[in-house]
């Protein structure tokens, strides 16, 4: 009886503690992965404020395994569209957000 009680206590303790431990490890991994994504170079070609989009001629997007090209991206923050103009050189991070390519970080190169 004592052996069964010890095993039950051990099992319950692991069952309650393991998900919390796994959650902490996952959050740490996600944070670390996000910090290691490098910014890509690009030039703003067109701004579409009505659609919340930028057309960018860019170099390789390493995190998306994409070569350099010119393409349209949604922007995470519509305020960015007021800060850039066609011809501006930028550094940016693009990601798939709900299946759509979006600029999630933007810096204007001075």
pLDDT digits (tens, 9 = 90+) for 69-103: 999 999 999 999 999 999 999 999 999 999 999 99
**6-65: per-residue pLDDT in tens?**
555 555 555 555 455 455 444 334 444 445 568 999 999 999 999 999 999 999 999 999
Do 27 and 70 lie in one domain? The reply is: no
Dihedral angle at the C-alpha atoms of 99, 28, 80, 38, nearest 10 degrees? -90
Residue 6 phi/psi, 5° resolution?
A: -65, -45
Q: Is 45 left (phi over 0), alpha (psi -120 to 50) or beta?
A: alpha
Structure tokens of 65? 């395994």
Q: Where are the beta strands (DSSP E) in 1-110?
A: 40-48, 53-58, 69-75, 89-97, 100-108
* Residue-range definition of the domain harbouring residue 32: 1-36
Do 44 and 57 lie in one domain? The reply is: yes
Cβ(39)–Cβ(93) under 8 Å?
yes
Do 97 and 73 lie in one domain? The reply is: yes
Cβ(109)–Cβ(91) under 8 Å?
yes
Do 58 and 24 lie in one domain? The reply is: no
State pTM to two decimals.
0.67
**Total structural domains in the chain?**
2
Do 57 and 13 lie in one domain? The reply is: no
């Amino acid at each position: 009886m004592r052996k069964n009680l010890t095993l039950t206590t051990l099992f319950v303790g692991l069952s309650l503690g393991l998900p919390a431990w796994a959650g902490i490890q996952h959050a740490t991994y996600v944070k670390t992965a996000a910090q290691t994504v490098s910014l890509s170079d690009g030039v703003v070609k067109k701004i579409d404020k009505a659609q919340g989009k930028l057309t960018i001629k860019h170099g390789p997007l390493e995190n998306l395994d994409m070569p350099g090209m010119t393409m349209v991206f949604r922007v995470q923050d519509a305020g960015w569209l007021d800060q850039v103009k066609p011809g501006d050189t930028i550094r940016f991070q693009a990601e798939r957000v709900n299946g759509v390519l979006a600029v999630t970080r933007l810096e204007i190169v001075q």
